[in-house]
């Protein structure tokens, strides 16, 4: 059997390779870039692709027109390209209206976006719900532009079409669901969110051979409008979600960070807090706020679903965020593997957690005559296992789950699960009603 460390390295390499395939694709909230991305993800899992027509009412929103782009540039008077969409797809404002004009630099400046504090980086900017055109470029290159006439061309199109999202469901033994979602609308930004898309696709592929209690619903949809569409069209499915996790920015070496659901004390909140503080990870746990990624849609008061946000570096806190520096050099296989491992640990908790009831609650039951001590022999972990028995028996009052017991005892969740199973097999525990 190969060491677990080797398997962890392998999964990180696979996730990184998939993220690298996704990175060059120009994505937005609609269009061919989204469909191309789903085609790549669909090579990993049996992805169902949903198409929602332009103009479809979605709660308080309406599905926008489809946006596609073929190219764009700024040329100076000599015909030299100052900016070229072919060099980097961040160079054109996302959802930009088409344009083909010649104008002086004084007029063009109003349509150029830069980062004066990060003069060597291209910013990521969008105009989803307003009619604008524009370019993004490094501030240094902008400063080098001389007065004169410039030809500007953006070969884009907004037209009635569809908004597209992808979904994969791993079937479990019950009718209860776990939602795992990543936004698919960002263009060439490796951490935000090629990393999340690739990680969830690889995780979904790994789940195919696993027998689970829950159904696992993997959603790859454009931010905000995609989540709203899914909620509007899946009221019955939404009611079956017991746990949920938004995944983004999981490829860098920061954090880890977790933002609680609106409920604040949901099982997924407790599970992620436990996971982020194991193995000296020293994770940061933040309370819910109505600003961020799609957790704010799932946690809106009309749904109030138990959905949190998992990231390495939190959005908006790292200098590469929404810039051309969020490239494939910024993410690494070892960080992707670590993120994958943490999510898998949380899934293990969701699958294995239950609330025990001590059937002999008055005093400690005699474990020796049931073979629970003697079965341990000279195992050096015998002392820890004995403590796990005692912790489970003492807190098995029908009010504490196995995760609660692991947190209270400071012991590994896996040790508590093993102890509870042995006690249950010896008729000392039952599952609380």
In Å, what is the CA distance from 405 to each residue of 87, 283, 416? 55, 20, 7
Reported as half-sphere exposure (CB side, CA atoms, 13 A), residue 319 has a value of 8
Helices (H) and strands (E) in the chain, counts: 13, 18
* Confidence at residue 366, expressed as pLDDT on a 0 to 100 scale: 87
- pTM reported for the whole predicted model: 0.94
Query: Tokens 């704010």 identify what position?
Result: 296
Q: What is the pLDDT of residues 80-127, one digit of tens each?
A: 999 999 999 999 999 999 999 999 999 999 999 999 999 999 999 999
404-416 residue pLDDT tens: 999 999 999 999 9
Q: Residues annotated as binding site?
A: 186, 192, 322
Binding-site residue numbers for Zn(2+) are 186, 192, 322
Cα 316 to Cα 191: distance, rounded to the nearest angstrom: 12
Those residues of the chain that have pLDDT short of 70 are 1-5, 374-382
Q: Which residue reads 């694709």 in tokens?
A: 25
Looking at residue 155, its pLDDT comes to 98
pLDDT of residue 9: 76
Residue in 228, 216, 97, 119 with CA at minimum distance from that of residue 168: 216
| Both tokens assigned to 400 | 């504490």
Domains, the chain, with CATH or none: 4-64+162-351 (3.40.630.10), 66-159 (3.50.30.90), 356-431 (1.10.10.10)
Could you tell me if residue 229 is left (phi over 0), alpha (psi between -120 and 50 degrees) or otherwise beta?
A: alpha
Q: Are 145 and 155 in contact (CB under 8 A)?
A: no
Tell me the pairing of strands 257-259 and 284-286.
parallel
Question: What gap in Å lies between CA 192 and CA 23, rounded to an integer?
Answer: 10
Nearest of 205, 73, 43 to residue 136 by alpha carbon: 73
């Amino acid at each position: 059997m190969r060491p677990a460390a080797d398997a962890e390295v392998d999964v990180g390499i696979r996730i990184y390779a998939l993220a690298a395939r996704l990175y060059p694709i120009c994505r937005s909230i609609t269009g061919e870039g989204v469909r191309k991305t789903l085609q790549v993800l669909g090579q990993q899992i049996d992805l169902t692709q949903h198409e929602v027509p332009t103009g479809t009412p979605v709660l308080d929103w309406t599905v926008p027109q489809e946006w596609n782009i073929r190219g764009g540039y700024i040329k100076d008077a000599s015909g030299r390209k100052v900016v070229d969409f072919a060099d980097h797809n961040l160079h054109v404002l996302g959802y930009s209206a088409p344009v083909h004009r010649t104008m002086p630099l004084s007029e063009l400046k109003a349509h150029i976006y830069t980062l004066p504090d990060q003069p060597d980086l291209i910013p990521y900017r969008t105009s989803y719900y307003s009619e604008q055109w524009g370019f993004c470029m490094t501030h240094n290159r902008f400063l080098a532009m001389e007065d004169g006439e410039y030809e500007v061309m953006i070969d884009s199109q907004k037209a009635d079409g569809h908004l597209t999202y992808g979904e994969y469901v791993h079937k479990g033994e019950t009718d209860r669901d776990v939602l795992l979602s990543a936004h698919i609308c960002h263009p060439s930004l490796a951490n935000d969110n090629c990393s999340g898309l690739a990680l969830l696709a690889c995780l979904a592929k790994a789940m195919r051979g696993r027998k689970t209690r829950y159904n696992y619903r993997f959603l790859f949809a454009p931010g905000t409008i995609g989540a709203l569409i899914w909620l509007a069209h899946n009221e019955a499915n939404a009611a079956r979600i017991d746990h949920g996790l938004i995944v983004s920015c999981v490829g860098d070496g920061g954090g880890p960070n977790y933002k609680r659901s609106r409920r604040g004390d949901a099982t997924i909140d407790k599970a992620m807090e436990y996971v982020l503080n194991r193995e000296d990870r020293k994770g940061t746990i933040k309370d819910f706020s109505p600003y961020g990624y799609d957790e704010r849609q799932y946690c809106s008061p009309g749904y109030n679903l138990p959905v949190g946000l998992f990231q390495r570096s939190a959005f908006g806190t790292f200098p590469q965020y929404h810039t051309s520096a969020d490239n494939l050099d910024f993410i690494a296989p070892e960080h992707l593997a670590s993120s994958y491992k943490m999510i898998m640990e949380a899934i293990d908790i969701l699958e294995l957690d239950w609330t025990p009831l001590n059937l002999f609650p008055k005093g400690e039951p005699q474990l020796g005559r049931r073979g629970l001590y003697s079965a341990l022999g000279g195992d050096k972990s015998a002392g820890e296992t004995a403590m796990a028995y005692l912790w489970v028996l003492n807190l098995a009052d029908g009010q504490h789950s196995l995760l609660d017991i692991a947190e209270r005892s400071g012991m590994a969740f896996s040790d508590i699960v093993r102890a509870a199973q042995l006690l249950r097999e010896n008729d000392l525990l039952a599952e609380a009603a």
